[in-house]
Structure 1
Amino acid sequence: MSVADPAASTSPASTATQALRAAAERGDADAVADLLAPDVVFHSPMTERVTFVGREEVAALHRDIFAVLDGLETTDPLALGDSRSFSFRAQVRGVELEAHVLLHVNEQGQIDELKIFVRPFPALATLFGTLPPRVSARRRGPLTGTVAAIVTWPLAVAVRTADRFTPRFL
């Protein structure tokens, strides 16, 4: 779906959302960084225990995200005040992923909060087995990234396997 909608609102929140969607579809983390508030908070879709804070950290996270997702396409946003919401589809290691993004834009027109929800469960598990090892390696070194892969990848395999067989019993 195209991100250029001539009927779209020209509010700062709408402008930031359209720019975020376009940057995401291009896989352009530098363009995402230009949209973020200095104190932006990104809530992990995988755990409540992890948030990413600050423009540089959230931009680096987007570089990691764009490196593991293929074919990202967004939908038209929904609006409520300074908050916006849109969905996107992509593939992670060949597994179809659907996600929903909630974002808030501050008075300066910068994105100051991002929350992402991912479905279906096999896609989330595959993302969990793919993204944390990459982020861990970037933040804490290759050895920690390898340990993260060893810990997370079995869950992804188990969930994808269960997803193939469980529907037969329902």
Structure 2
Amino acid sequence: MEAVMACWETEQSLQSLTGVSAGEGTGATMSDDDDGRDDQIDSDTANLFDGLDSMGFGPLIPTESERSLMERVRQELKHELKNGYKEKIVDIREEILRKRRAGKLPGDTTAALKAWWQSHSKWPYPTEEDKARLAQETGLQLKQINNWFINQRKRNWHSNPSSSTSSNAKRKRFS
């Protein structure tokens, strides 16, 4: 939920800075729009310059070349902002996807981990090199590999048979 809120806030900030709504990802510039927004921009620009210039010669209205320059600067700024937020947006998307796929690992991934487990059943503690190789092979993060082995040892491995029988006896007494 935090990732969704952060994404929404980022989108709102980007929208307020660029003037482009979320649905306008067509790559078209403002000058390409034929929906009457140019008239709105022209009136907004005129409203900004309604006052007299410093010499008292009348309203400051930008020339066509100044408008063209302002539009180019606006487009460059928009491009820089998009690139600046790109990494954050990618990070948020990855976090959302990670949370979505939380739970059981894919069968081929667990098969690779179980194969290592079975071949090292007497001492199932992989070395750092083993973990790195398994991470490369499965596409999991090192933390996921570590957690899988911790859980697997807790659930399926008893290094000391006498401790497992005593824990079973304790479970029976409290049941």
TM-score (norm 1): 0.25
Q: Which has the higher strand share?
A: 1
Q: Higher helix fraction: Structure 1 or Structure 2? A: 2
State TM-score, norm by structure 2: 0.25
